[in-house]
Amino acid sequence: MQLSREALLKAYRQMKTIRLFEERLHDEIALGEIAGFTHLYAGQEACAVGVCEHLGPKDYIISTHRGHGHCIAKGCDVIDMMKEIYGSRDGLCKGKGGSMHIADVNVGMLGANGIVGAGAPIAVGAGITAKSNGTVSIAFSGDGACNQGTTFEAMNMAVVLKLPVIFVFENNHYSEHTGEAYAVGAESMTARAAAFGMKAIKADGIDFFSVYDAMRELIDHCKAGNGPASIELDCERFYGHFEGDPQRYRGKGELERIREERDAIRTFRQKVTEAKLLDHGDLDAVDAEVAALIDRAVAESKAATRPTAADVTQDVYISY
């Protein structure tokens, strides 16, 4: 733990923003306020933030269908994100993408993605650019995407071309509604990634510091010209695969247990207060500030401009 007080507060603020963003969405969706499919990231905050706190705007990430956390961690505007999820014309993607396609290329966020496993090949391409810029490219995937052939192709090509790409596998133990123990045929995702010929490690995905420290090592490894690397993050999904998922595949008491024992926000608070790096007052102040931001985001989204039929055919091409 060598982070400054400011850096710790920023990391906490990012994690708390993700948590409250998702909890609020859960409530608003239940009220019928939001259209379409939404996949919440709550529970996995330490993964996105532990990775992205190392990155600048010229580092790239590509995300998944469960992408809100990665977007917030990489610096997408939270209010514009909320407007996008509400389908507003003022949203980050003008209401054309919604929850599953939030992107902001200007901050190096190359998109959430509705196709499981589609991101890793694109991250390889961003890795080509990153190699020429001295930056890195991150492919976020889950334990579902890790079984897609596209992910295998991407890992092999990144090794062959020695690209600075880091494959981050967030293992929340469920690919949609099927357990990792069934669907991942390998001994582990880490063993599989190592077999492709890259440095492959694990970290505790509910502990920001575990993720952050491991990523420092991998980013240094990639920037030194050693080719790609992989990290598997053991984490928990606090909600279902999608909002409305009855989660019949969960064990009895499982959700209560992971919320009690495997909470990334609580873990962070406990570590920094015990080490006397921050006190509860500092953290409570961040909580209040973030809650106000989310309230504002929802209020502004509900009042934001709706798109019109004339918008349907805009932005298909640059020129046609």
Partner 1 sequence: MASKMIRDVIRDTIDAEMARDDSLIMLGEDIVGGNGAPGGPEAIGGIWGTSGGLWAKYGPDRVIDTPISESAIIGAAAGAALTGKRAIAEIMFADFIGVCMDQIWNQVAKFRYMFGGKSRCPITIRMPYGAGYNAAPQHSQVIHQFVTAMPGLKVVMPTTPADTKGLLAQSIRDDDPVIFLEHKALYAVKGEVPDEDYVIPFGHARQVTQGDDITILATGMMVGFAEKAAADLAQDGIGCDLLDLRTTSPLDEEAILDSVERTGRLLIVDEAPPRCSLATDLSALVAGKAFSSLKAPIEMVTPPHSPVPFARELESAYLPSPEKIVAAAVRLMSYRKV
Angle at CA of residue 241, ends 22 and 184, nearest 5°: 130
Nearer to partner 1, 19 or 83 (CB): 83
Task: Report the nearest approach of partner 1 to the CB of residue 105 (Å).
Answer: 5
Alpha carbons within 13 angstroms on the beta-carbon side of residue 230 total 28
Task: Report the nearest approach of partner 1 to the CB of residue 46 (Å).
Answer: 26
Output the DSSP codes for 173-204.
SEETTEEHHHH--SS-HHHHHHHTTSEEEEEE
Nearer to partner 1, 130 or 265 (CB): 130
| Coil, strand or helix at 167 | strand
Looking at this protein, which amino acid is placed at residue 136?
V
Task: Report the nearest approach of partner 1 to the CB of residue 298 (Å).
Answer: 20
Nearer to partner 1, 114 or 271 (CB): 114
Identify the H or E element spanning 166.
strand 165-171
CA distance 97 to 85: 8
CA distance 109 to 69: 11
Structure tokens at 81: 């994100």
Residues at the interface with partner 1 (CB under 8 A) = 60, 62, 84, 91-97, 101, 103-106, 110-111, 113-115, 118, 120-132, 137, 149-150, 153-154, 156-157, 160-161, 314-320
Nearer to partner 1, 182 or 320 (CB): 320
| Coil, strand or helix at 258 | helix
Task: Report the nearest approach of partner 1 to the CB of residue 96 (Å).
Answer: 5
Strand partners, 141: 169
Task: Report the nearest approach of partner 1 to the CB of residue 108 (Å).
Answer: 8
Task: Report the nearest approach of partner 1 to the CB of residue 52 (Å).
Answer: 17
| Coil, strand or helix at 1 | coil
| Coil, strand or helix at 7 | helix
Task: Report the nearest approach of partner 1 to the CB of residue 210 (Å).
Answer: 28
Nearer to partner 1, 52 or 286 (CB): 52
Nearer to partner 1, 8 or 55 (CB): 55
Nearer to partner 1, 3 or 159 (CB): 159
CA distance 52 to 57: 10
Nearer to partner 1, 96 or 177 (CB): 96
Task: Report the nearest approach of partner 1 to the CB of residue 132 (Å).
Answer: 7
Alpha carbons within 13 angstroms on the beta-carbon side of residue 16 total 22
| CA of residue 317 relative to chain centroid, distance | 28
